[in-house]
Structure 1
Amino acid sequence: MELMQDKAGVRVKPQGAQWHAVVRSRLAGRLEGIARIVSGRKSGAALEFDLIRYGSTAMSLEVRAGGRRAYLKLFDPAHTDYAYQREKAALCALRESGLVPRILAYADKPRFLLCEWSGAAAEAEGNASLSPTQFAEKLGVWLAELDSVVPSEDACGNWYTYLQQFSGVFDMERIRIARDMLSEIPLCGRAMSRNDTALTSFLNSAEGHLMGCDFERAQMRPRGWDYVLGYIGLIEQFPENTGAVLEAYSAGFSRAHKGALIVEELNVVSRILYTARAMADGRAAQLISWQ
């Protein structure tokens, strides 16, 4: 099962006219239609685009037409359509939530997603003005609000039983040691999860709230799964300021969450899985000590 962002890295980015030609080739026959959507149906509007990021599965582009701009994600046809289908489903489900860029159009062939332009489009730059604690608090709020609007379903059991399927990801000895604690924490149903520890795929909108991007790994997971992965991601991204960052994260989530999840229980699960993941990856020397 997929869990974390893979380590394949970013491909060598095509230079200048090369990536431009790739985009025009893949979008052949679609350029005029995209220009009409972006421009607000202005007749004869020309489409221009700039490369934001060239990833392992897709290119992210800023597109402009008729004085307006939008965000376009063009998926590599050499890959399966899993990433595209997952992201399309997530963006469509969350279209009116205000938590993600609003999807304007999509196509299954060629595979692309067209979304409204929201705040800073370069994800890492979009949060450059936020301190680690400010970002963590906003992330906690965003995840709590996400939990209230994503598709969900009933599920029973506990975290210990559920985690048995991840023997290839976690050090299962760490899980077994924590069996009593994990067995006492029930699952509160399943919900669509972003399912990624990467924290760079967020925009800080003009209104000052976060908007999530990159749902290529989205799938149904226990409620609170994204909180756990966010907790792990924050530790890994801000190892020198962990205490204050995690406190802000938990406070943001607790303040905004209206459901049945108990943040103290999620923190227990998060700490156990952070340790189990680090041990499985051979990073025991990097583990932080819990106060």
Structure 2
Amino acid sequence: MTGPFTIRDFTRAHGAYIARFAAQSRKSLERLDVSPISETEKHLRFRLEFPEDPVIVDVWSKEDPAAEQAFNRELTCARLLQGSALTASLLGHSQEKCLMLRGDVQGTPLNSVLSQDNVVAMSSSLGSWFQRFHQKMPQKEADMTWFSYLKNYPGLFEPEEYEREKAFLERLKIGAVSIARNDRIRGFLVSDRKTICAPGFQRAGYKPIGWDLLLATRDLVRQFPGQTDDIIAALLAGWGAKVPGLNPEDFIRLAKLFCVATVFRAYTPSAPLLRRYADAFNASREKGQGKITTVLSVPYKSDLQQDVQPQDVEAFRRHLQLVTTERGDMDRQITEDEIRNTDNPVPVLAAIGEYPKAWGNYAAIF
């Protein structure tokens, strides 16, 4: 297709073809309404409004090699999962047009229903989904360790962290890789039947078995840091089998290391919002307070201000202590005075105090 890559232009050019294609699995209609879902320069998604059973159409730009690769990954996973109820049913596809037709899954985005009360149950359901997904995916032999694999991600750990954890990570062997979804959990849907469904696999690729569990741990702990241990345990329980090459204790330790490295965003020149927080704090800090050099962002699920409950403050304090311990400062104790303004509605900017000199001073937004 030449010209603008938009839903409007694509349906104008190929509307009759798409309608005939979709009608192979639906009752043909003289007029078929189109509802846009999302539109980027590489990917279009829209709904064909068949009265009783809508069809979702995904189209990738053939002008972009990366988009065409995303289509191929999506198609591969959809074929492998056909009939599994793990994702929407594949109704048809066109390799020539990088186009897929799928059934419409009625459901609610997982992130909108997650709460402190149900996150453990949802973690178990996600672990079960990933295990069933894994069983459908092909594997390839591999010969590496988690140390050598994680070194492929520059900046994931500090150099001294790699050295400190080298013996542990080198002990964890990776004997096989399998296709992983390799994406955030925010795309998951909770269907009307309370089952979990994944709408897409554009980032799927061969990864060490258990990689999806690590990414899920990261996303869930970001939202509920005080329930880190319960989240990891529930994901493992949902998986229901040993993660190849990792006994439960090793996976728990690996997951916690991964969380420490990825859950918090460090203040850097490429994070202008966090830099403004640091600059604002440094400009107004009291005499004797150290200058903030790094900011950690602890995301919240909404921008609504709420009173901070004492149990939430205590859970957050325990989590900060855990992070400090994991980072190797075993003797550091966080005092009550170091968590400031906790009686005020969030968000507030708080100085956590002086960590080891290699860290500089830290602030947290919570």
TM-score scaled to structure 1, two decimals? Answer: 0.78
2:296 to 265, 282, 285: 285
State whether structure 2 residue 219 is matched by structure 1 residue 233.
yes
Match of 1:257 in 2: 241
Is 1:268 the counterpart of 2:250? The answer is: no
For the residue of structure 2 that corresponds to 1:61, the secondary structure is strand
Distance 1:209 1:153 in 2: 30
**Could you say which residue in structure 2 is the equivalent of 1:68?**
53
**Per-residue Cα deviation, 1:76-111 (whole angstroms, up to 9, x for no partner):** 445321211111111112213221212111123332
Distance 1:208 1:258 in 2: 26
Aligned residues of 1:195 and 1:218 also touching (Cα < 8 A): yes
CA 1:276–1:36 in 2, change beyond 3 Å: closer, same or farther? Answer: same
State the partner residue of 2:121: 134
Give the deviation of 1:131 after TM superposition.
3.2
Query: Map of 1:108-257 to 2, 5 A cutoff?
Result: 108-120=95-107, 123=109, 127=113, 131-167=118-154, 169-196=156-183, 198-239=184-225, 241-253=227-239, 256-257=240-241
Q: 5+ unaligned residues in a row in structure 2: which ranges? A: 268-293, 299-318, 324-366
Q: Which amino acid aligns with 1:67?
A: E
CA contact (8 A) 1:46 1:65 kept: no
Distance in 2 (CA, whole Å) between partners of 1:34 and 1:170 is 49
Runs of 5+ consecutive residues of structure 1 not aligned to the other structure? 1-17
Please show how residues 27-66 of structure 1 align to structure 2 within 5 Å.
27-39=14-26, 42-55=27-40, 57-65=42-50
Q: Which letter maps to 1:53?
A: S
Identity of aligned pairs, percent? Answer: 19
Structure 1 stretches (4+) deviating beyond 6 angstroms? none
Measure, in 1, the Cα distance between the counterparts of 2:146 and 2:106: 37
Deviation at 1:258, TM superposition (A): 6.5
| Letter paired with 1:231 | T
Do 1:45 and 1:65's aligned partners in 2 also have CA atoms closer than 8 Å?
no
Radius of gyration: which is bigger? Answer: 2
d(CA) in 2 for partners of 1:285, 1:257: 35
Q: Does the 8 A contact of 1:45 with 1:66 survive in 2?
A: no
Whether the aligned pair in 1 keeps the contact of 2:55 and 2:103 (CA below 8 Å) is yes
The corresponding residue for 2:276 is none
Contact 1:205 1:211 in 2 (8 A): yes
Asked if 2 retains the 8 angstrom alpha-carbon contact of 1:174 and 1:272, the reply is no
Q: Relative to 1, partners in 2 of residues 1:54 and 1:143: Cα closer, same or farther, differing over 3 Å?
A: same
Deviation at 1:273, TM superposition (A): 2.2
User: Match of 2:75, as an amino acid?
Assistant: K
CA contact (8 A) 1:169 1:280 kept: no
Counterpart Cα distance in 1 of 2:138 and 2:223: 29
1: distance between equivalents of 2:91 and 2:262? 38
Change (3 A) 1:280 1:67: closer
Output the TM-score relative to the length of structure 2.
Answer: 0.63
Residue deviations 1:140-199, cap 9 Å, x none?
A: 111122222211122233211222222255544423321111112221411001112x22
Q: Cα deviations across residues 19-57 of structure 1 (Å, max 9, x unaligned)?
A: 652341353442222331351xx3445332212333564
Residues 1:279 and 1:204: Cα distance change in structure 2 (over 3 Å)? closer
Cα displacement (A) at 1:127: 4.5
Query: More displaced, 243-252 or 182-191?
Result: 243-252
Matched residue SS, 2:250: helix
Aligned length, in residue pairs: 268
CA RMSD of aligned residues (A): 3.1
Q: Greater RCO between the two (CA within 8 Å, min separation 6)?
A: 1
Shift of 1:246: 3.5
The one-letter code of the counterpart of 1:50 is S
The answer as to whether partners of 1:53 and 1:60 remain within 8 angstroms in 2 is yes
Note if contact 2:71-2:202 (Cα within 8 Å) is conserved in structure 1.
Answer: yes
CA distance in 1, matches of 2:60, 2:175: 34
